[in-house]
C-alpha cells in the first residue's frame, strides 16, 4: 500500500524567510541592547553577556548591517505573502468571538493545534500584530538613525526622544512574542519540524 503524500504546510520561500528572520532579529535585539546600555532610558542595563558588538560602535555596525538583511528579507516575505494569497488565506477572516474563545482556551491550557495547516484565532491575531510591531520598529528605527533626513517621520513619532521609547516598547513586544513562540514550539514540537521540512 502506497503511503499518503505529505501535504506541504510551509513553502520553501516562507521557511527561508523565517530562519533568516530568526537569526537577524536575534542579532538586532542583542546589538540593540548594547546600544541601549550606552544611553539607558531606564535605571537598568542589559547583561553584557547578552549583548552583541562589544562596544557602542561595534553594536551600531552590527545593528545597521543586520537592518539591511532584515529589510530585504521582510520585503520578500511580505511581497510573496500578499501576492501568493497566503496572508489572506492564513490570517483572515478574523472573528472577535473566536478570539475570545481561543484566548479562554489558551489561559486554561486547552488550546489545541491539531491541524498544522490552519492557524487558530490567537495565532492569526498574534502574527498580524507582530508584523505591525515590526513595521513600527523599522519606522521608529529610521527616526533614531536619521532624524533630520526623516524629519516627517520624526514629527509623526512625536520627536526623537518619543521615538526612542516607542522603539524600546516595540522591541520588548518582539522579545515577548519570541518567548511565547518558543514556548509554543516546545509544547507542539511538530511546529518546528514543519518549519524545517515544510510538511
Instruction: Please state the three-class secondary structure of the chain as a single string.
Output: CCCCCCCCCCCHHHHHHHHHHHHHHHHHHHHHHHHHHHCCCCCCCCCHHHCCCCCHHHHHHHHHHHHHHHHHHHHHHHHHHHHCCHHHHHHCCCCHHHHHHHHHHHHCCCCCCCCCCCCCHHHHHHHHHHHHHHHHHHHHHHHHHCCCCCHHHHHHCCCHHHHHHHHHHHHHHHHHHHHHHHHHHHHCCHHHHHHHHCC
pLDDT higher than threshold 70 for residue 113: no
Where are the domains positioned within the chain?
Answer: 1-91, 92-109+116-187
pLDDT higher than threshold 60 for residue 180: yes
Residue 91's pLDDT band, with cuts at 50, 70 and 90, is confident
For the segment 98-126, the average pLDDT, to the nearest whole number, is: 75
For the segment 91-115, the average pLDDT, to the nearest whole number, is: 76
pLDDT higher than threshold 90 for residue 98: no
pLDDT higher than threshold 90 for residue 135: yes
pLDDT tens, position by position, 21-34 = 999 999 999 999 99
Amino acid at each position: 500500500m502506497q503511503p499518503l503524500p505529505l501535504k506541504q504546510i510551509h513553502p520553501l520561500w516562507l521557511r527561508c524567510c523565517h530562519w533568516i528572520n530568526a537569526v537577524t532579529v536575534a542579532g538586532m535585539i542583542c546589538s540593540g541592547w548594547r546600544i541601549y546600555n550606552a544611553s539607558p532610558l531606564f535605571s537598568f542595563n542589559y547583561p553584557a553577556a547578552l549583548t552583541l558588538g562589544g562596544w557602542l560602535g561595534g553594536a551600531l555596525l552590527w545593528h545597521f548591517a543586520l537592518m539591511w538583511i532584515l529589510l530585504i528579507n521582510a520585503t520578500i516575505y511580505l511581497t510573496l505573502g500578499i501576492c501568493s494569497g497566503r496572508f489572506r488565506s492564513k490570517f483572515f477572516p478574523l472573528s472577535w468571538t473566536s478570539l475570545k474563545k481561543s484566548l479562554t482556551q489558551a489561559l486554561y491550557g486547552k488550546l489545541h493545534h491539531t491541524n498544522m495547516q490552519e492557524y487558530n484565532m490567537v495565532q492569526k491575531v498574534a502574527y498580524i500584530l507582530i508584523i505591525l510591531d515590526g513595521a513600527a520598529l523599522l519606522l521608529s528605527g529610521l527616526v533614531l538613525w536619521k532624524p533630520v533626513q526623516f524629519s516627517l517621520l520624526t514629527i509623526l513619532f512625536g520627536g526623537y526622544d518619543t521615538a526612542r521609547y516607542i522603539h524600546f516598547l516595540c522591541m520588548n513586544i518582539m522579545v515577548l512574542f519570541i518567548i511565547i513562540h518558543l514556548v509554543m514550539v516546545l509544547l507542539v514540537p511538530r511546529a518546528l519540524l514543519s518549519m524545517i521540512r515544510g510538511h
